[in-house]
Amino acid sequence: MPDSYGKRARRDANAKKLAARQARRDERAQRNRDRDAGLIEKGVPIGPAEQAEFLPDADELAQMDKEIAGTE
């Protein structure tokens, strides 16, 4: 289903996309200026893994291995 029907809705949808694109450009330019000024580290920011809370810990992994092997 398209985002819009008709010329006016299509124009509004394109204007919204253009504004979002310009906002991303402005944010990227600000990050680059901050990196050049030394306010933030160069390179891709790496944060903590969000999936870590869903991964089993060492005890759960050992239990799973025992279950797979068939000895409990």
pLDDT score of 41: 82
**Domain limits of the chain?**
6-69
Residues with Cβ within 8 Å of 66's Cβ and at least 6 positions away in sequence, in order, are: 72
- 10-residue block means of pLDDT along the chain (72 residues)? 75 94 96 90 73 73 86 59
The pTM assigned to this predicted structure is 0.52
pLDDT of residue 2: 61
